[in-house]
Structure 1
Amino acid sequence: MLHYSIEGTGKTLVFLHGFMENSNIWNPFVPLFSKTHQIVTIDLPGHGKSDTENEINTIEIMAEKVIEILEFLNISNATFIGHSMGGYVSLAIADVYPQFVDKVVLVNSTSLPDSKEKKEQRLKVIPTIHKNYSLFVRLSIPMLFAEDLKPLLEDEMNELKQIALDNPINGIEAALRGMRERPDRTHVFYELDKPFLIINGTKDSTIDIDLFETVIPIKENIKIEKLNCGHVAFMEKKEKFVRILTSFI
Structure 2
Amino acid sequence: MPVTSIRGISLAYDDLGQPNGAPLVFIHGHPFNRTMWSEQVAHFKNDYRLILPDLRGYGETDVTTPRVLLDEMALDIIHLLDELNIEKAAFIGLSMGGQIVLDLYRLIPHRFTALVIVDSDARGETAESAARRLETAEQILKTGMIKHTDETIHKYIANASLQNPAVYNPLYKMMSATRPEGAAAAHKGRALRRDHTAILPAITVPSLIIVGSEDFFTPIPVARLMSDNIPNAGLVVINGAGHLPNMESPTEFNNALGSFLRRLR
TM range (shorter): over 0.9
Task: Report if aligned partners of 2:55, 2:61 keep a CA contact under 8 Å in 1.
Answer: yes
1:85-124 alignment runs, 5 A limit? 85-124=96-135
Letter in 1 for 2:201: Y
Task: Report if aligned partners of 1:114, 1:182 keep a CA contact under 8 Å in 2.
Answer: yes
Letter in 1 for 2:80: I
Query: How many Å apart are 1:216 and its aligned residue?
Result: 4.2
Structure-2 separation of matches of 1:212 and 1:198: 7
Number of equivalences: 248
Superposed CA offset, 1:54-110 (max 9, x none): 421111110000010000000000001111011111111011111211111111111
User: Hey, what does 1:231 align to over in structure 2?
Assistant: 243
Secondary structure of 1:27's aligned partner? helix
Comparing 121-130 with 94-103, greater Cα deviation is found at 121-130
Structure-1 separation of matches of 2:196 and 2:181: 26
User: Hey, what does 1:15 align to over in structure 2?
Assistant: 26
1:188-227 alignment runs, 5 A limit? 188-214=199-225, 216-217=227-228, 221-227=232-238
Do residues 140 (structure 1) and 152 (structure 2) align? yes
Structure-2 separation of matches of 1:65 and 1:165: 24
Structure-1 separation of matches of 2:237 and 2:60: 32
User: Hey, what does 1:6 align to over in structure 2?
Assistant: 15
Q: In 2 relative to 1, CA 244–208 (structure 1 residues): closer, same or farther, beyond 3 Å?
A: closer
Do residues 66 (structure 1) and 74 (structure 2) align? no
Identity %: 29
Structure-2 separation of matches of 1:219 and 1:175: 27
Q: In 2 relative to 1, CA 164–150 (structure 1 residues): closer, same or farther, beyond 3 Å?
A: closer
Query: How many Å apart are 1:212 and its aligned residue?
Result: 4.7
Query: How many Å apart are 1:207 and its aligned residue?
Result: 1.3
Structure-2 separation of matches of 1:115 and 1:188: 18
Query: How many Å apart are 1:220 and its aligned residue?
Result: 5.3
- Normalized against structure 1, the TM-score is what? 0.93
- Normalized against structure 2, the TM-score is what? 0.88
Letter in 2 for 1:72: E
Letter in 1 for 2:15: I
Task: Report if aligned partners of 1:87, 1:109 keep a CA contact under 8 Å in 2.
Answer: yes
Structure-2 separation of matches of 1:118 and 1:30: 34
Query: How many Å apart are 1:192 and its aligned residue?
Result: 2.0
Task: Report if aligned partners of 2:213, 2:220 keep a CA contact under 8 Å in 1.
Answer: yes
Task: Report if aligned partners of 1:107, 1:199 keep a CA contact under 8 Å in 2.
Answer: yes
Structure-1 separation of matches of 2:217 and 2:230: 26
Structure-2 separation of matches of 1:215 and 1:155: 31
After TM superposition, the runs of 4+ consecutive aligned structure 1 residues lying more than 4 A away are none
Q: Which runs of 5+ in 2 are unaligned?
A: 1-5
Measured on the aligned residues, the alpha-carbon RMSD in Å equals 1.6
Structure-2 separation of matches of 1:15 and 1:84: 12
Q: In 2 relative to 1, CA 177–14 (structure 1 residues): closer, same or farther, beyond 3 Å?
A: same
